[in-house]
Structure 1
Amino acid sequence: MAKSKKPENDNALPPMPDRRGMEGFMAGLFGGGRGSDPTDAAQDIMYEAWEATSRSKRITLARKALKVSPLCADAYVLLAEEEAGSVEEVLDYYQKGVAAGEEALGPDGFEEYAGRFWGFLETRPYMRARAGLAAVLWRLGQHQEAIDHYQSMLKLNPNDNQGIRYVLAGHLLARDDIKALRKLLKQHEDDGAAAWLYTRALLAFRENDPGAGKLAEEAWLAHSHVPGVLSGKQPLVASIDGYITLGGEDEAADYVDENGQAWQATPGAVAWLAEVTRKLKPRRRRN
C-alpha cells in the first residue's frame, strides 16, 4: 500500500514516477474524448500535477484543477498531502475530497461501480480521498468512524487494490475486535502478505491455538525480517519510494509500525516468535 510523503524540499525529485500520474496514460488509452467534461479536464490537470517534480508546481496545478471543477477529489488529496499545515487542515481537505468525489460519481455511479471500484479510473480519486480521510480520523482518535470507512471501502472494492485490508486488520487488532478481525482474515485467507500471516500467528498465540507455531513458521518463510524488527535486532527500514516491497525489509518495517504495539501488548508474544523462528531456514528455490 502506498505511503504518502511530503518532500523535504521544493525541487525534490522522486526516485520513481508517482503511480497516480501514470493513470493519465491509461486515461488517454481508454478515455475516448476526455476533456469535454470539466471534471475530466480537471483530472487531466491532476495527472500532470502528480508527475510534477516540485511541490510548488504540484500545489499550483491542484489549485488550477479546482478552478476548472470543484468536484476534482484528487486535487484535495494532493493539498492534504502537500499543503496542509495541521492535522485539522488535512481532515478538512480529505472531507472536501470525499464530498467532491461522491458528487462527481453521483448515485448512478455508485450503483454501477459497486463491487468493482478502482477497476474504473473515475472511481480512484474518491477512493484515495476516502482512504486519506479514514487515516486522519484514526490519527485523531475517531477510531470507529475510521473503521467504518475502511469497511465500506472494502464493500465497494472487494479486490482491495489499495491494501485497505492491511490497515483495517491492524486497527481491529489494536481495538481487540477479534470477531471482526477473524471475519476479515477469512475473507482473504489466501493472502500471503506479512500483515496477514503474522497477524494470524499472533491471534493463534493469544488463544493458545496448537497451530500457532506452524502459522509463525509459514509467516517467517514468506517474510523473514519481521521477528528481527519486532525484537529490535533489525532496524526499521523505510520504503524509498513510498511503496512497499513484498517480502522486503520495508514491508517488515511497515507491518511493525502498524502492528508492533499489539505484539508488545501480548505477554510473551515477541519472545515466542523469536524462538519459533530462530532455527528456521529459507526454502530452497527450485531451478
Structure 2
Amino acid sequence: MDARLERLLNYPVEPQAEWQCGVFDFSDLAGGAFADSPMSAAKMVLWVSRERELIHGKPSIDGAPLDLLILELLEFTELHKLEYRPARICVTDQALASQLNANFAGSGTTVTWNVEPDFWCEVKESMGEHMRGTMAAPSLAESGCSLLQIHAYAEAAAAFYRARPWQYLDDADLLQVQTPKPPKHLKHVTVLGAGRQEFGLGFYDSSATHWDMLAQRLNMDLIEVFSLTFNPISEAIESDAALWKEHDFPLETGDAFPQFLFYSRDNTRAPKPKELEYVTVLLAALAETTEAEIDSGEWSKQILVQGKKKRCKISIPDLLAPPDRKVWLDRGMFPEPRGNERHFRLVQAVIAQNEGMELEDLNALINQQFTGSIDDFDYPSETPFDRAENLCYAAIDAHGRRRIQLIRQALQEDPTHIESNVLLAESVHETSHKIELFRQAVEFGEAQFADLLETAVGQFWEISETRPLMRAKTGLANSLAADGQANEAIAQMLDILRLNSNDNQGVRYQIIPLLLSQHREKEAVEILDCYPEETGNWLYLKAQIEFRREGRNGQSADKAIAAAIEFNPHVIELLIAGPPPTMPERYTLGSAEEAAILIEGQMESWSETEGFIEWMCARFAALKRDSSKRRLGKKRKRGPR
C-alpha cells in the first residue's frame, strides 16, 4: 500500500465530514474547446469536502479511474493539510465506489455511491461554466486588428526570432520602453529564451511586478500580464494558423508561431489593435538591436512598419545605474555559493601564516580581520590577478547583462583568470563555443596548478584555489555530453573524480547514465560501489544497472527497485501522473521534490534502457497490491474492534 494512503488510514475519523468524488470525461467540462487536443480523451478527477467547501480537481491522460481517484485524494489531503478522514465518502460511480471501499474496509470511513450528489454536481457545473467561458480560443483573427497590422506583426516576429536576442539578454535584464508610449501592462519587458525552453517576450506593468514574480512573491492567480511566446504551429489557435496559411504571412520556422495574449484570472484575450501595433514596433526594433547597443544601456531605433517610420527608444536601467549586491538580494536574486570562496581563502591564508598560534589567539585574530559585512571588506588590487578577481566576484554577485560586462572587464585585466573564463563560458548559448571556452579555462587551470596536479590528487576540492579549475572541467564535461561526445565527457568526469575523490560536485550522478548509454556497465558498477549512499538518486541508478545486467526477472534487480520505491515512492507516482513537475529549488530525501529532480536527471537514461520504465511501474503496482493484501490480512487476524 502507498505509504501516504496508509498514513491517511491512520488519521482519526471526523464524524461530521463528508467528501464527494468522481471521475468523468474532461470534455464534459471544456465542451469543444479541446476537441482536436489530446486533452479531449483526458479524465477529470474531482474531490470536494462539504464541511469545509474545499475543491480539488485535476485532468489526466493516463491511469485507471481508481488509481487516479486515490492519487488525487492523497494530493487533496496533503495540499490542504487535512489530518483527518471523513466519516463518509460518496462516489458518483457504483463500481468505483465498490473498489474504493476495499481500501477503506474496516477503517471507520463508509464509502457509498450516488450518481448525482448535490454539492459535487454544483461544483462540477460551476467549473464547466467557468472553463467554457474562459477557454474559448482568443483568436487574433477576430480581435479587430487589420490584415495589414497582422502581416506587419508576423514580419516583425519572424525577424525577432531570426535575430535571437536571447543570446545577449536573460530574464534578469528588465528593459524599459520609453518610445512609443506603452499601453497598459506593456511598459517593461524581458526577453525570454536564455534558458532555451520558452522564447519570446514577457511584459510587466512595473519593475516591482517583474522582480516579485521572479522571486515568487506574488499570488499568480491575481496577476494580469501580456506574454508573447513562440510555439509550434500545431499548437497555435486554429483560426490564427489558418489565417497565416491563407495570407502567406511570414513564419521563421514551424516551431516559431508568435502568440501574443493577455492573461488574467478571469480572462485570456487577444491584443487590441493599438497593443498589436506597439509590440510590432518593439519586435522590429529588438530584431535590429546590436550587442554593442545593448551594452550601452540605452538606444534608439528607427524602423519601417506598414510603410511608416517609427521610432523605438529602449533602456536597461540596471546597465545605466548598476545595482549593488544588496539591491539584488532585496529583489530576491540570491548570490551563488562560490561568491564566498575568496573570503574563505583569505581566512585560510591567515591560518597558514600563523601556524602554531594558540587557538584562542587565532580565533581572536580572525574575528578582528574578518568580522563585518563581506561587502565592506577591502580586497587586494595591486596585481592584474587581484583586479580580475575583484571584478570576477562582482560579476558573481550580479545578474543578466551586467554580469557579462564585469566578466569581460576582468578578462581585460587578466585573460588567464580561470573563474572569469568559466563565467564567460557559462554565459554563451552555442554548445561548440561553450566547449571552446571551457577547454581554454581548463588549460589555464592545469598550467597554473601543474604542481598540485602531481601532489594533491584526490584532494582538489579541499584546496579552494583549485575549485575554478574543477568547475571548468565539469562545465567542459557537461558541454561535451550535450554535444553528443559521451566518451569524451566521461573521460573528463573520470578525471574530476580522480582529482576530487569526495566528489563534492556530484559528478557521480552524471557519469553513470553516460556510462550506461555507452554500454560501459562494468565501470558504472565500479563507481556505484565507490560511493554507497542512501538517496533516491543512487537507489534508482542501482535499480537501472541491475535491470540492465539481469533483466526484468532478476532477483537483484527486483530487490534494488523495491528498495528504491520504499525510499521514495513519489518517483513512480510522478511518472504515472503525467508530465514532469516544475523543478524545485530545494528538496529533502524521500520527498516529491527529490523525485522531480531525480526524474529530470535520469529520464533520458531510463528511456534508453528498453522496458525499464514500464518494469518500474509494474513493480510499483505489484508492491502496492502485496502491501494492501498484507495489511488486510493483519486486520482479519485482529478481528473486529
Instruction: Please give the range of the TM-score, normalised by the shorter of the 2 chains.
Output: 0.7 to 0.9
8 Å contact kept, 2:580–2:599: no
Residue number among 110, 115, 120 corresponding to 2:453 in the alignment: 110
8 Å contact kept, 1:23–1:47: no
CA distance in 2, matches of 1:265, 1:87: 23
Q: Give the structure 1 partner of residue 597 of structure 2.
A: 254
Per-residue CA distance 1:79-104 (angstroms, 9 max, x = gap): 1222x242222122111211121122
Which amino acid in 2 is paired with 1:196? W
Structure 1: runs of 5 or more not aligned? 1-5, 282-287
Residue number among 194, 199, 202 corresponding to 2:541 in the alignment: 199
> What's the offset of the Cα at 1:41?
4.6
Which deviates further from its counterpart, 109-118 or 154-163? 109-118
Which deviates further from its counterpart, 39-48 or 205-214? 39-48
Task: Check 1:186–1:72 CA distance in 2 against 1; reply closer, same or farther (3 A cut).
Answer: same
Per-residue CA distance 1:80-136 (angstroms, 9 max, x = gap): 222x2422221221112111211222x212123211011111110001011111111
1:79 has 2:424 as partner: yes
Q: How many residues align?
A: 270
> What's the offset of the Cα at 1:234?
6.0
Which deviates further from its counterpart, 162-171 or 68-77? 68-77
Find the residue that maps to 2:503 and give its secondary structure.
coil
CA distance in 2, matches of 1:274, 1:44: 52
Residue number among 51, 57, 61 corresponding to 2:406 in the alignment: 61
1:94 has 2:438 as partner: yes
8 Å contact kept, 2:458–2:499: yes
TM-score (norm 1): 0.83
Which deviates further from its counterpart, 120-129 or 217-226? 217-226
> What's the offset of the Cα at 1:244?
6.5
1:219 has 2:568 as partner: no
Residue number among 501, 506, 509 corresponding to 1:166 in the alignment: 509
Q: Give the structure 1 partner of residue 396 of structure 2.
A: 50
Residue number among 328, 331, 348 corresponding to 1:30 in the alignment: 348
Task: Check 1:85–1:266 CA distance in 2 against 1; reply closer, same or farther (3 A cut).
Answer: closer
8 Å contact kept, 1:50–1:58: yes
Which amino acid in 2 is paired with 1:194? G
- RMSD of the alignment, in Å? 2.6
> What's the offset of the Cα at 1:37?
5.6
Which amino acid in 2 is paired with 1:23? E
8 Å contact kept, 1:201–1:212: yes
CA distance in 2, matches of 1:151, 1:271: 31
Which amino acid in 1 is paired with 2:347? L
Pairing of 1:245-284 with structure 2 (within 5 A) = 246-278=589-621, 279=624
CA distance in 2, matches of 1:24, 1:247: 34
8 Å contact kept, 1:197–1:216: yes
CA distance in 2, matches of 1:63, 1:42: 9
Q: State the structure with more CA Rg.
A: 2
Which amino acid in 2 is paired with 1:68? E
Per-residue CA distance 1:141-178 (angstroms, 9 max, x = gap): 21111110000110000100000111001111222211
Find the residue that maps to 2:511 and give its secondary structure.
helix
Q: Give the structure 1 partner of residue 338 of structure 2.
A: 20
> What's the offset of the Cα at 1:20?
1.3
More strand by share: 2
Which amino acid in 2 is paired with 1:98? V
Task: Check 1:98–1:87 CA distance in 2 against 1; reply closer, same or farther (3 A cut).
Answer: same
> What's the offset of the Cα at 1:248?
4.3
> What's the offset of the Cα at 1:7?
4.3
Per-residue CA distance 1:41-97 (angstroms, 9 max, x = gap): 533432222112x32221122122222322211111111222x24222212211121
Q: Give the structure 1 partner of residue 171 of structure 2.
A: 8
Task: Check 1:55–1:266 CA distance in 2 against 1; reply closer, same or farther (3 A cut).
Answer: closer
Task: Check 1:232–1:178 CA distance in 2 against 1; reply closer, same or farther (3 A cut).
Answer: farther
Q: Give the structure 2 partner of residue 39 of structure 1.
A: 385
Which deviates further from its counterpart, 152-161 or 41-50? 41-50
Structure with larger RCO (C-alpha < 8 A, sep 6+): 1
1:228 has 2:570 as partner: no
8 Å contact kept, 1:169–1:181: yes
Identity value in percent: 32
Task: Check 1:142–1:31 CA distance in 2 against 1; reply closer, same or farther (3 A cut).
Answer: same
Task: Check 1:37–1:246 CA distance in 2 against 1; reply closer, same or farther (3 A cut).
Answer: farther
Which deviates further from its counterpart, 131-140 or 32-41? 32-41
TM-score (norm 2): 0.39
Task: Check 1:172–1:245 CA distance in 2 against 1; reply closer, same or farther (3 A cut).
Answer: farther
Which amino acid in 2 is paired with 1:223? N
> What's the offset of the Cα at 1:213?
2.4
Task: Check 1:60–1:31 CA distance in 2 against 1; reply closer, same or farther (3 A cut).
Answer: farther
Task: Check 1:108–1:143 CA distance in 2 against 1; reply closer, same or farther (3 A cut).
Answer: same
Task: Check 1:221–1:187 CA distance in 2 against 1; reply closer, same or farther (3 A cut).
Answer: same
CA distance in 1, matches of 2:608, 2:424: 36
CA distance in 2, matches of 1:180, 1:65: 40
CA distance in 2, matches of 1:266, 1:232: 21
Per-residue CA distance 1:1-41 (angstroms, 9 max, x = gap): xxxxx942326755432111122331232244974664355
Task: Check 1:40–1:220 CA distance in 2 against 1; reply closer, same or farther (3 A cut).
Answer: farther
Structure 2: runs of 5 or more not aligned? 1-168, 175-210, 212-330, 354-378, 629-641
CA distance in 2, matches of 1:45, 1:51: 10
CA distance in 1, matches of 2:519, 2:597: 20
Which amino acid in 2 is paired with 1:104? Q
Task: Check 1:17–1:39 CA distance in 2 against 1; reply closer, same or farther (3 A cut).
Answer: same
Q: Give the structure 2 partner of residue 120 of structure 1.
A: 463
More helix by share: 1
Residue number among 478, 486, 496 corresponding to 1:135 in the alignment: 478
> What's the offset of the Cα at 1:263?
2.3
Per-residue CA distance 1:223-242 (angstroms, 9 max, x = gap): 332223344536332133xx
> What's the offset of the Cα at 1:271?
2.9
